[in-house]
């Protein structure tokens, strides 16, 4: 099959012919229908995260179940599925708490199968796969628990985006921060994930929703997804502008970039009693600083959330229903479609901030 392989940091992905095995017990083979171009893949391409090479990237995806391994009863061939980029052993402390995003039941390599072996190979060499998925490929073999079946009348592109950007952004609002109706919200970073924080805030009837970015085209997208106000951080201090708009700060500030400086801004633009929520995933070994006194005197809360603190088996179908009911805009997030061969163009456009979201589609 064809796959996009990261061979060296800072280099384009290389489209190569690789071999994929059949699923073993407890595993599922999925034919990829669509997969999103997300900044998390880009962190790896740029070498901001290093977890080993060569690796097939891609973690925001949906497809059709092709084959199931022994003992798999949760899906069958022909099922449409959204792929979860986190495993869930189902029995560890965090899975039991309903916080399977942080599952600690597996201690092996996060870029291989649970048994420590690889299913994708190139000339006899094992390839790592991002998030035990590696969806920049025609097929994936994954643990059955990461393959979540959903209704069949939804486009693969929409399902793919629910697999990361929508769940991460909307989940940050509803599962992690639990934003109350009427409260004020700031969202720093209006890319694929940030726009979903914005529409999540709309979904729960937040009051003012202030979008912050450095690019006017992103702020225009933000308005389309429900922002009531916009702040361009390159024309004056973002914190001052948000404080001025709100008379002192917002109830909730979301950082959706993965940048130590904008995490500091999120803390600073939160009003007394407010919550700053880190959604963006920073490069490895980044740090931020804060004034500890404000945490006492303003009772500021600082929280983080991974993958929208989702329970994929519950949240994916709910987000699909909300989308089909017209309460979430997902199709509208797609600014560009690419073939797998065009994937590097997709990352160049993401890097330049040209798109809300780009999606790789596969011929059916
Ligand atoms: N101030 C404001 N906005 C900024 C700044 C800044 N200093 N730096 C970057 N941005 C904006 C960009 O202009 C862009 O609109 O942040 C946005 C990032 O969007 P994308 O590149 O589309 O990234 P996305 O896929 O949304 O991911 C955001 O979430 O899951 C994590 O790993 C992911 O860390 C990444 C983050
Ligand atoms: Zn992602």
Residue 10 exposed, middle or buried by CB count within 10 Å (0-12, 13-18, 19+) = exposed
Which of 208, 132, 206, 152 has the alpha carbon at shortest distance from 174? 206
Per-residue pLDDT tens, the chain, 364 aa: give them.
999 999 999 999 999 999 999 999 999 999 999 999 999 999 999 999 999 999 999 999 999 999 999 999 999 999 999 999 999 999 999 999 999 999 999 999 999 999 999 999 999 999 999 999 999 999 999 999 999 999 999 999 999 999 999 999 999 999 999 999 999 999 999 999 999 999 999 999 999 999 999 999 999 999 999 999 999 999 999 999 999 999 999 999 999 999 999 999 999 999 999 999 999 999 999 999 999 999 999 999 999 999 999 999 999 999 999 999 999 999 999 999 999 999 999 999 999 999 999 999 998 7
Residue nearest to atom 31 of ligand 1 (CA): 280
> What are the residue numbers of the active site?
38, 40, 43, 59, 164
Query: Is the CB–ligand 1 distance for residue 59 below 6 Å?
Result: no
CA of 270 to the centre of ligand 2 (A): 26
Contact 30, 81 (CB under 8 A): yes
Instruction: Give the global pTM.
Output: 0.98
Mutate to test the pocket of ligand 1, among 36, 37, 39 (most ligand atoms within 8 A of CB): 39
62 DSSP β-pair partners: 34, 82
**Residue 351 Cα: closest atom of ligand 1:** 21
Domains of the chain, earliest start first: 2-153+330-361 (3.90.180.10), 169-306 (3.40.50.720)
**Ramachandran quadrant class, 352 (left: phi over 0; alpha: psi -120 to 50; beta: rest):** alpha
């Amino acid at each position: 099959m064809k796959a996009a392989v990261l061979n060296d940091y800072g280099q384009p992905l290389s489209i190569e012919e690789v071999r994929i095995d059949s699923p073993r017990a407890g595993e599922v083979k999925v034919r990829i229908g669509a997969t999103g171009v997300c900044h998390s893949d880009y962190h790896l391409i740029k070498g901001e995260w290093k977890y080993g090479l060569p690796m097939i990237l891609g973690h925001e995806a949906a497809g059709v179940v092709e084959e199931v391994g022994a003992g798999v009863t949760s899906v069958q061939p022909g099922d449409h599925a959204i792929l979860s980029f986190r495993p869930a052993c189902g029995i560890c402390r965090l899975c039991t708490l309903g916080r399977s995003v942080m599952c600690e039941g597996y201690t092996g390599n996060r870029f291989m199968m649970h048994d420590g072996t690889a299913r994708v190979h190139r000339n006899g060499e094992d390839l790592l796969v991002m998030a035990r998925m590696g969806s920049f490929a025609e097929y994936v073999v994954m643990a059955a628990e990461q393959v979540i079946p959903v209704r069949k009348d939804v486009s693969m592109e929409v399902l793919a985006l629910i697999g990361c950007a929508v769940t991460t952004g909307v989940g940050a609002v509803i599962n992690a921060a639990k934003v109350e109706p009427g409260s004020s919200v700031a969202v720093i970073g209006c890319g694929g994930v940030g726009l979903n924080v914005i529409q999540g805030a709309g979904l729960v009837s937040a009051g003012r929703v202030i979008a912050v970015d450095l690019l006017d085209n992103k702020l225009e997208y933000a308005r389309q997804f429900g922002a009531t106000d916009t702040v361009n951080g390159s024309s004056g201090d973002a914190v001052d502008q948000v404080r001025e708009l709100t008379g002192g700060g917002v109830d909730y500030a979301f950082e959706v970039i993965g940048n130590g400086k904008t995490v500091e801004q999120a803390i600073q633009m939160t009003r007394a009693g407010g919550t700053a929520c880190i959604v963006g995933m920073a490069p490895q070994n980044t740090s931020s600083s804060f004034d500890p006194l404000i945490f006492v005197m303003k009772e500021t809360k600082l929280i983080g959330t991974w993958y929208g603190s989702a329970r994929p088996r519950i949240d994916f179908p709910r987000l699909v229903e909300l989308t089909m009911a017209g309460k979430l805009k997902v199709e509208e997030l797609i600014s560009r479609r690419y073939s797998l061969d065009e994937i590097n163009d997709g990352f160049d456009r993401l890097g330049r901030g040209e798109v809300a979201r780009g999606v790789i589609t596969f011929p059916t």
